[in-house]
Structure 1
Amino acid sequence: MALLFIMPHAITPDTTTTYSDWRDDLYRNGFAVIKAAVPAGRAASYVESMTQWLEKFPLGFDRNDPNTWTEEHLPANMKGGMYHGYSVSHEKFVWDARLEPGVLDAFSKIWNTEELLVSFDGINMTLPLPDTSHPKPARWPHQDQDSKIRGFQCAQGIINLVDNGPNDGGLVVMKGSHKFNDEFFKTHSMEKKEIWGKVPDDWHGFDDEEVKWFEDRGCEIIKVCCAGGDLIVWDSRTVHYNVLPEGQETRAVVYACYTPAALASAEDLEKKKEIFEKRERTTHWPHRNFWRATEILRLGKKDPYHRDRPFDEPVLSEKLLKLAGAMPY
């Protein structure tokens, strides 16, 4: 039996009003780009911090030598450059990006509240491969919402730090696919496929035939192009995935998703506070289903450089602690 989860009316996004801004794109298309949410200079400083973070591991990575931009010289990552381990979710520069006023303002407008929680997500720094003969990972179209939950429940975000165009690494979405979510799960299985392996509850993948189902209903596959400092937001029901660079441009982003604190139960807030204090990570969902993951292996083995605290601790301001669920609003 499908679970119907209904949010309190006071914090339900009003998707019927015309706003004459990017929210119209979000509610109509399932995604939107907020231009210059982060000033260009600060976006560049976050890229520098990411690069320095890679250099702190004694693995031979050299920003000036593309021959070292490979797995054997980098910390454990997935899909070409997604970093979730090593307590990177709590590095100071990651928290600084989450606290950017332009980012917070965007999510406050989506939810009509400033009392938000944020996910303890990772980063993506995908470097162009020096040898183009390397096989590229297959796409993995998915939504970050449980198949049994209906409605707009989570707003996801990418704080984009480097210009990226059609041939650069970045986010791919199926425009308008969120509108067909209910219809899809009336005629398709809600169960998780065995081939996905262990995935969070709030994750559902789509195979090629299912992607075509959305295309047959007019959902266009779009590579989202944007400038350094732009913020991409999308409805978690929107089918999406990422692509690797085809050119020589690095992809650098911070993943940051926000939902109202009022959606979290007292028990979940206590769990979130504990996860924060241990500097662990969560899924994209800020208020539930935190899915505490096991240690990430590097090249198939336990990593001797594994960390359970960040290199640089964040500054524990009142705003940060409230976003982290470690202090009540």
Structure 2
Amino acid sequence: MSLLHVGIAAAVPATDSRFLVGGHGGVAMSFDLEHDAPRLEPGSAEARAHLAEHGYAVLASVLNETELRTARELLWRFMEGTRKGIRRADPRTWHRIGPNQFGIVWNSGAGQSELMWHVRSAPRLLEFFSSFWGVGRAELLTSFEGFGVMPPTELESSWGALAEGWFHTDQNGASRPGLWTVQSFTSLHDQDETTGAFVVVPGSHLEHAAVTRRALRAAPGTPRTQQFLLVPPDDSILTARRPRLIRCRAGDAVVWDSRTVHCNTPPLTREVPWRPTVERQSGMARGSFGPDGSALPSPPLEPHPPNFPDFLRVVAYVSMAPRARATPAVLLARRRAVLNAQACTHWPFEATCVPPDDELPPPPDLGELQLDLAGLSAEDGALIAAARRAATA
């Protein structure tokens, strides 16, 4: 799970797609802004085929309008409930949530927040993972990841330095060749070049073995068990297969094979200082597509009223795999992670988690579906519920 920045070259016009990758002394490259990915039905054969061929796919309307509004409210309920003095009406306080250098929020119980469980439980997201792995929804095991944020451009300086130019793959082919996991994010807002977006190298998963060899050669001493691998900025995969910026609509999910080379980019323009209160409207119902499955065109974003600002980009990360791949020891560790409100990596069948906060938030309120997705029993659920009651008494 990563939310990474590609540094903008100061001398390049804002409307140009050429960037410097790798920070100072980086390599100039360009993004494909001309081709939009089709928005596909989550449970369709077309979505699975696109993922298999290109290493990623865009799933249309994983969250419906009601689910999307709920997700946005849950984001701010979490933010303002962290005892960090964060106020939605005061963007100067937002940085206190403490995202890491990749823009990801792991702390303060983010991985077990209502927001994350709301997205994990979305029927259309479950439909995709169930159809992809060929198992029932009750047999899926979810990751315990957090969410990623990108602040309005006016606030960037107060958020500290974010990682730049880190194209990467989330799987080490030396120890894990072939397909192991599929990752996703669900976007709470429209994403395009004006907001910051996901950038993918289409088809790079098909060259994962070679990418791994070159990445390990560039970073001698990297353990075979380390799954996160940086791709050198001058690697041939970044020129042989042009990186593509992925536009998506609010409520869409983007899924990708963990072998696929990807990163994210900050806004390519500075023309939209605030996100609009209402997502852009096109006069069509959400889920309307063209003949090729792509979204029908929408008008440009309008500036956001200054009295109701929001993040430019918010994405909730979720990966799922068959529960049968997790050992009893891993399931026990996952129970501890829920009790301690911890976030973990995108590998559902492992239990590599961030340390619990010094001041533990209450465990989440999990129903039958959520317990299934966590890999926990009804007895585990009773234990978690008792701990929650004690923490909130």
- Give the alignment's TM-score, normalised by structure 1: 0.79
| Distance in 2 between residues matched to 1:271 and 1:229, nearest whole Å | 31
| Distance in 2 between residues matched to 1:237 and 1:48, nearest whole Å | 33
**Corresponding residue of 1:322:** 372
- Superposition deviation, residue 187 in structure 1: 5.4
Relative to 1, partners in 2 of residues 1:314 and 1:169: Cα closer, same or farther, differing over 3 Å?
A: same
- Superposition deviation, residue 63 in structure 1: 2.8
| Distance in 2 between residues matched to 1:57 and 1:81, nearest whole Å | 17
Q: Are the aligned partners of 2:79 and 2:97 in contact in 1 as well (CA < 8 Å)? A: yes
1:55 matches 2:77:
no
Relative to 1, partners in 2 of residues 1:160 and 1:131: Cα closer, same or farther, differing over 3 Å?
A: closer
Relative to 1, partners in 2 of residues 1:30 and 1:51: Cα closer, same or farther, differing over 3 Å?
A: same
Instruction: Choose the corresponding residue for 2:337, options 271, 275, 296.
Output: 275
| Distance in 2 between residues matched to 1:75 and 1:324, nearest whole Å | 25
What secondary structure sits across from 1:189 in the alignment? Answer: helix
- Superposition deviation, residue 287 in structure 1: 0.5
- Superposition deviation, residue 294 in structure 1: 3.6
- Superposition deviation, residue 168 in structure 1: 1.3
1:101 matches 2:123:
yes
1:259 matches 2:321:
yes
Q: Are the aligned partners of 1:81 and 1:127 in contact in 2 as well (CA < 8 Å)? A: no
1:128 matches 2:178:
no
| Distance in 2 between residues matched to 1:168 and 1:83, nearest whole Å | 18
| Distance in 1 between residues matched to 2:237 and 2:67, nearest whole Å | 38
**Corresponding residue of 2:249:** 227
| Distance in 1 between residues matched to 2:98 and 2:155, nearest whole Å | 19
| Distance in 1 between residues matched to 2:217 and 2:321, nearest whole Å | 24
* AA in 1 matched with 2:141: L
| Distance in 2 between residues matched to 1:25 and 1:256, nearest whole Å | 19
Relative to 1, partners in 2 of residues 1:52 and 1:275: Cα closer, same or farther, differing over 3 Å?
A: closer
Identity of aligned residues (%): 26
What secondary structure sits across from 1:208 in the alignment? Answer: coil
| Distance in 2 between residues matched to 1:129 and 1:199, nearest whole Å | 38
- Superposition deviation, residue 66 in structure 1: 4.0
**Corresponding residue of 1:178:** 205
Q: Are the aligned partners of 1:143 and 1:240 in contact in 2 as well (CA < 8 Å)? A: yes
**Bigger relative CO (Cα 8 Å, ≥ 6 apart):** 1
| Distance in 1 between residues matched to 2:237 and 2:218, nearest whole Å | 18
Q: Are the aligned partners of 1:82 and 1:125 in contact in 2 as well (CA < 8 Å)? A: yes
| Distance in 2 between residues matched to 1:171 and 1:193, nearest whole Å | 28
What secondary structure sits across from 1:158 in the alignment? Answer: strand
Q: Are the aligned partners of 1:143 and 1:203 in contact in 2 as well (CA < 8 Å)? A: yes
What secondary structure sits across from 1:36 in the alignment? Answer: coil
- Give the alignment's TM-score, normalised by structure 2: 0.67
* AA in 2 matched with 1:292: C
> Deviations 1:230-273 (Å, cap 9, x if unpaired)?
11110000011122345433211111100111222233223223
> Deviations 1:269-308 (Å, cap 9, x if unpaired)?
23223322332221111002x3233468xxxxxxxxx542
| Distance in 1 between residues matched to 2:87 and 2:342, nearest whole Å | 28
| Distance in 1 between residues matched to 2:177 and 2:215, nearest whole Å | 14
What secondary structure sits across from 1:146 in the alignment? Answer: coil
Q: Equivalences for 1:158-237 in 2 at 5 Å?
A: 158-186=185-213, 189=216, 201-210=226-235, 213-217=236-240, 219-237=241-259
Larger Rg: 2
Q: Are the aligned partners of 1:157 and 1:232 in contact in 2 as well (CA < 8 Å)? A: yes
Structure 1 stretches lacking a partner, 5+ long: 1-18, 297-305
| Distance in 1 between residues matched to 2:261 and 2:108, nearest whole Å | 28
> Deviations 1:50-108 (Å, cap 9, x if unpaired)?
12322234545443344444x3xx22112464210111111123212100101100111
Q: Which moved more, 1:53-62 or 1:261-270?
A: 53-62
Q: Are the aligned partners of 1:172 and 1:223 in contact in 2 as well (CA < 8 Å)? A: yes
Relative to 1, partners in 2 of residues 1:309 and 1:132: Cα closer, same or farther, differing over 3 Å?
A: closer
- Superposition deviation, residue 188 in structure 1: 5.3
